[in-house]
Amino acid sequence: MSIELNGVTKKYGKEKALNNVTLHFESGKIYGLLGPNGSGKSTTLKLITGLVYPNSGTVSVLQEKVTRRISKHVAYLTELDMFYDSFTGGKMIDFYDSQFPDFDREKAFQLLQEMELSADKKIKQLSKGNRGRLKLVLTLARDVPVVLLDEPFSGLDPMVRDSIVKSLLAYINFEKQTVIIATHEIDEIEPIMDEVVAIYNGDIIGHKNVETLREEQGLSVLDWFKSTMANKRKEV
């Protein structure tokens, strides 16, 4: 297993964001972490990157408990902007190159070109879609075993979403990397997910292999997710 959460509870003050969650992620797979707003998706990713720590339970990456040391091997695309406005795309690449020993500069410029981004344009002049693309360039250019993408499609138009999905498939190393995509927009990642995890109110309410779901139950991820959510809401 490349990532393991065992009995993890995370609270912010009195509020529980994750409730005794056990989840294992294998290497070489793309996982969709799906759930409505506030369900605990970002918290799960932050625990894996060591940005927050559990109140109880353990989180490990590559068999090592998550600390600053192991989190160096995790590339994390946050929902927030990760740029300096006065930098150009090229300068951001230089900056990442100086910060991360695993950063592949050549790959970054290749991705930049593929996403039709200019290396010379200042970040503040970029459209929201192009900022989103640049975030992905910087994240995917890292040669790391774990890649976490938090809402990589938010605010982007369908064409950009499509190009992002294509570059994900082209640039992920399926031999070595584990990818987790947290999103509430299922359509986009439906074709590329190997496994899907549904989360609601801090609880894991379902975890399925996507192929099995399609072959044995004849369900799309979207159908499965909707019925899993509906059943859960009935219980509450």
Summarize as ranges the residues that interact with ligand ATP (CB under 6 A).
Answer: 12, 15, 17, 35, 37-43, 184
In the complex, minimum distance from the CB of residue 200 to ligand ATP, in angstroms, rounded to a whole number:
9
| Minimum distance from residue 15 beta carbon to ligand ATP (Å) | 6
Of 154 and 173, CB closest to ligand ATP: 154
Q: Which residue lies nearer to ligand ATP by CB, 145 or 202? A: 202
- Closest CB to ligand ATP among 78 and 209? 78
Nearer to ligand ATP, 17 or 213 (CB): 17
Minimum CB separation of residue 10 from ligand ATP in Å reads 8
Bridge-based pairing state of the strands 56-61 and 64-65: antiparallel
HEC states along the chain? CCEEEEEEEEEECCEEEEEEEEEEECCCCEEEEECCCCCCHHHHHHHHHCCCCCCEEEEEECCEECCHHHHCCEEEECCCCCCCCCCEHHHHHHHHHHHCCCECHHHHHHHHHHCCCCCCCEHHHCCHHHHHHHHHHHHHCECCCEEEEECCCCCCCHHHHHHHHHHHHHHCCCCCCEEEEEECCHHHHCCCCCEEEEEECCEEEEEEEHHHHHHHHCCCHHHHHHHHHHHHHHHC
**CB-wise, 115 or 181, nearer to ligand ATP?**
181
Nearer to ligand ATP, 17 or 165 (CB): 17
Tokens 């379902």 identify what position? 206
Cβ burial 135-162 (10 Å sphere, 16+ → b, else e) = bbbbbbbbbbbbbbbbbbbeebeeebbe
How far is the C-alpha of 179 from the C-alpha of 29, rounded, in Å? 6
Query: Minimum distance from CB of 216 to ligand ATP (Å)?
Result: 28
Min dist. Cβ of residue 170 to ligand ATP (A): 27
Q: Which is nearer to ligand ATP, 22 or 125 (CB)?
A: 22
Q: How far is the CB of 18 from ligand ATP (least distance, A)?
A: 8
Smallest distance from ligand ATP to CB 51, Å: 10
